A and B are shown apart, each in its own frame.
Chain A
Amino acid sequence: MRQLFGLALTAAAGLALLPVATMAQTPKSGGTLNFAVVAEPPTFDCHATTTFATIHPVRPHYSGLLRLSGDVNKKLAIVGDLAKSWEMSKDGLTYTFKLHEGVKFHDGSDFSSADVKASYERIVNPPTGVVSARKALHTDIVAIETPDKSTVVIKLKAPNASMLNNFASPFNCIYSAAKLKQNPNYPATEIMGTGAFQFVNYTKGSVWEGKKFANYFQKGKPYLDGYKAFFVKSSAVVPGIQGGQFDAEFRGRTPKERDQLKAAMGDKITIKEGPWTTNLILVFNTKKKPFDDVRVRRALTMAIDRWGSAPNLAKISLMKFPGGFVRPGAEYALSDAELKKLPGFATDMTKAREEAKRLLKEAGVSNLKIAFLNRNVAEPYTPAGIFVVDQWKRIGVQADHKQLETKLYFDAFKKGDFDVGINFIADYIDDPSIHFLKVVPGTAVNYSGGDNPKLKELFAQQSKQVDPAARKKLTDEFQKIAINDAHSAMLFWWQRIIVYNKKIKGWELHASHFTGQELVDVWLDQ
């Protein structure tokens, strides 16, 4: 009876508090969101770019077919954007999208299925003079049909496990078919979409401004009157937020910067932290001796104490999560238990390093000296480089750590001018077909030169497998072979830390800095 009474009391209190909580979360309209972008857009065209520097200022002007929504620490899922529903045929070869009706472009023209067709055809078969940076991910699309103004049917030549992700890609902006007909390259220099914000102004190297689109198809949204994206150097973000020049930066800050802002601004800021779909990989140049010997490669990855070092590294750098070739916690990730059975992921480091020394001795390279290539970007490349050099010293390996400017760094990888290098992958989603590319034999970005044909076979199989459970088996096998081969070895996955003024509400932390920047649901509590 007492328990029942207690429960009733709790429920009553909960109900009484509910309106308050709901009220506190009721979005308010108005205000301008000021945020920093730590690089400048090379183009306005989502299809042509691979950088967040375009996505952050430009994406709020556009819509996609689908988009990612939610919070990475709760539930991140694909939801409809211009598509209100969609379905895949049983054979995985046809996707049918039902589109929202009454959607307008910023110039007042009507949106229809023809715009989706024209936009995707531009991605799949870019006309002369148009760049389609992600064409390779869409080559399975063979036909796009528009049975009526609010239906799009996309047909594939083969099932593609990544295709739904591609439809939710922040880079697949939907452009106006009519304008593309006049000038196929208009999106490179002109902004005109169906997104929540209209373009106002862009001052090169300084600021990008957008204002609320009154005819946005999601009624009552966006909440903001507009936004300003300021292009600044990364080092200017902390003083800029502290000094009120802007209220946020949505790519990511370091733990030190988070702590600086916390100390200076206390409860005036919100901190969101989670895993990041970005990693650091050790690439062994298998075209050079002795890195063609699997024993040497394994020894070098086995010397690294990933589990023991991660908590401390996470305090001083962006490195945080040990993992395989898919981000830990993601659908296709290997479990910690599985990882611990593989070379480089042991927890007993004394034993692992003894084994590493034995392998080096067996390979005849006990006094190994390595030309170690790295990028001259402070975070997290410098601490990662220093950390690896230290770990290798513990098995008697010397490394000449060379940090090169980005252009020279990529050139060195391309020319094979390194023994071991730190490379990275950053993309918009945890998709094996994207994240495996640096270890698949024959791709332009597999700088190790690793050539296990089994990996190529498994990669092709998993990319066509639309059943998630069956795909997981294939991706697990792929990762286990790749880790055992050690042509490339995963070092760490990054942590994403976003610090912003507390007045910003409705912004969700995604695992990627490329997604979640439509600003449709963002509002200011002021």
Chain B
Amino acid sequence: MLTYLLRRLILMVPTLIGVAVVTFFLIRVVPGDPVVVKLRADGAAVTEETIQAERKRLGLDKPLMVQFKDYMVGLATLDLGRSLWTENTVASEIATRFPVSLQIAIMATIIAVLIAVPLGTLSALYRDTWIDYLVRIVAVSGLAIPSFWLGMLMILGSLALFNWLPPIGYVSFFENPVANIVGLIMPAVSVGYRYAAVATRMMRSALLEVLREDYIRTARAKGVFRQLVVRRHALSNAMLPVVTVVGLEFAFLIGGLVVTEQVFNINGIGKLFVDATTRGDFTLIQGLILLIAVIFVVVNLVVDLLYAALDPRIRLS
């Protein structure tokens, strides 16, 4: 187990180096000068001399390969560089936003799992009954309704009914748990609903498949209660694909809540990503892509470990 874990962690290094190299060059293929955006986008007629001085100050006048070498040397020392826009370290820019996105992802995952597991199970157990149809309607609606649109409805509904919106700005859970939950519950629900819909569909189909297995029929033939069979034998086996879906969705949520974060004014990784891309903030984009790559790799590892926990037949070696 430990050897497996170590091997997977070591394998992360070439993956991340590959991501870093590809990102570095791909970003620079896109035309446009971040310094021009920084100094002229608000309409000021800044001189070319000032633009060039700023490019020099930020090191953008250096040859591409020199910039690449600086970047890779920085990475080797865990220095992601500085944002071309704010000149703060990329690590600090990310660190400010990461807890917000992480918390929304966790809350959305909890909401999704709490909805998906019981609904998916009910839907499979009562296949082709009104319960199944109802669950399927809820699930298909969740898939069809974009999260940001649901978010907008929640905002407009809250304004129309109560003339109220949650206070703006992020308050840490440890500072004020109520204010924290109040501030993030709307985005978590709007994202969690779609997420739950995906997981519910997966739960239903996985459970239906498992329920058709010989060992389930054998258990039932032996006279084991249906509830016990489902709980002890069917559910744990049906959970494997659900865990995969939940894991991948969780990883996606941390960097992928681009529109939802805009709708709810959430100062998260998704919003940072959009801002960095719009401004052409190369170093920050590189850092963010690397972060998302790390998250995906880690979540995949966690999912693999969960497989082994859920199914004793799977051995990690």
Interface residue ranges, A against B (CB under 8 Å): 40-43, 50-53, 129, 131-136, 188, 203-207, 230-233, 235-236, 239-240, 242-246, 264, 278, 405-408, 410-411, 414-415, 424-427, 434, 437-438, 443-445
Contacts and interface: CB of A to CB of B under 8 A. Distances in A.
Interface in B12-46: 30-34, 36-46
Contacts of A242: 159, 163, 165
A438 B45 contact: yes
Interface stretch (B224-232, B241-249, B272-280, B287-295): B272-280
B37 A426 contact: no
A445 B93 contact: no
B169 A207 contact: yes
A406 B34 CA distance: 10
Interface string B255-295: 00000001101010001100100111000000000000000
Nearest to B31: A411
B53 interface: yes
B173 to A, nearest CB: 16
Nearest to A436: B45
A443 B33 CA distance: 18
B40 A50 contact: yes
Interface string B44-81: 11111111011001000000000000000000000000
B175 to A, nearest CB: 12
Given A133-B46, A135-B50, A407-B279, A203 B96 contact: yes
Contacts of A131: 50, 53-54, 57
B236 interface: no
A134 B51 CA distance: 11
B62 to A, nearest CB: 16
A407 B86 contact: no
B165 A243 contact: yes
A134 B153 CA distance: 45
A204 B44 contact: no
Interface residues of B, number: 53
A40 B170 CA distance: 16
Contact of A204 (B57, B88, B265): B88
A209 to B, nearest CB: 10
Contact of A407 (B32, B57, B265): B32
A422 to B, nearest CB: 13
B32 A204 contact: no
Given A242-B159, A407-B280, A426 B36 contact: no
Nearest to A50: B44
B46 A50 contact: yes
A50 B43 CA distance: 8
A505 B39 CA distance: 33
B32 A205 contact: no
Contact of B51 (A204, A437, A444): A444
B1 to A, nearest CB: 40
Contact of A205 (B46, B47, B96): B96
B43 A278 contact: yes
B144 interface: no
A367 B42 CA distance: 36
Given A411-B33, A445-B45, A232 B168 contact: yes
Given A136-B49, A445-B45, A239 B165 contact: yes
B100 to A, nearest CB: 9
A232 B265 contact: yes
B170 A406 contact: no
The 8 closest A-B pairs by CB, nearest first: A426-B43, A243-B165, A407-B32, A444-B48, A50-B44, A205-B267, A437-B45, A245-B168
A136 B44 contact: no
A410 B36 contact: yes
13 contacts: A132-B50, A135-B50, A136-B50, A230-B265, A232-B168, A245-B265, A406-B37, A407-B36, A407-B280, A410-B37, A410-B41, A427-B45, A437-B45
Contacts of A203: 96, 169-170, 267
Contact of B87 (A52, A188, A243, A405): A188
A42 B276 CA distance: 11
A407 B168 contact: no
B42 A52 contact: yes
Contacts of B252: none
Contacts of B215: none
B141 interface: no
A56 B56 CA distance: 28
B154 to A, nearest CB: 11
A205 B40 contact: no
Contacts of A135: 47, 49-50
Given A230-B169, A427-B45, 9 more contacts: A131-B57, A203-B96, A204-B96, A206-B96, A242-B163, A243-B155, A407-B32, A414-B33, A445-B40
Contacts of B96: 203-206
A51 B86 CA distance: 13
Interface string B167-194: 1111000000000000000000000000
A167 B86 CA distance: 27
B136 interface: no
Contact of B47 (A129, A136, A239): A136
A466 B101 CA distance: 56
A236 B265 contact: yes
B187 to A, nearest CB: 13
A92 B274 CA distance: 48
Contacts of B133: none
A240 B33 contact: no
Contacts of A434: 45
B165 A410 contact: no
A246 B33 contact: no
Contacts of A278: 43
Given A188-B87, A244-B165, A205 B271 contact: yes
A426 B42 contact: yes
Contact of A427 (B43, B49, B168): B43
A243 B159 contact: yes
A244 B159 CA distance: 10
A133 B39 contact: yes
Contacts of A232: 168, 265
A41 B88 CA distance: 12
A405 B163 CA distance: 35
B126 interface: no
A205 B101 CA distance: 13
* Residue of B86, B87, B156 with highest tally of chain A CB at under 10 A: B86
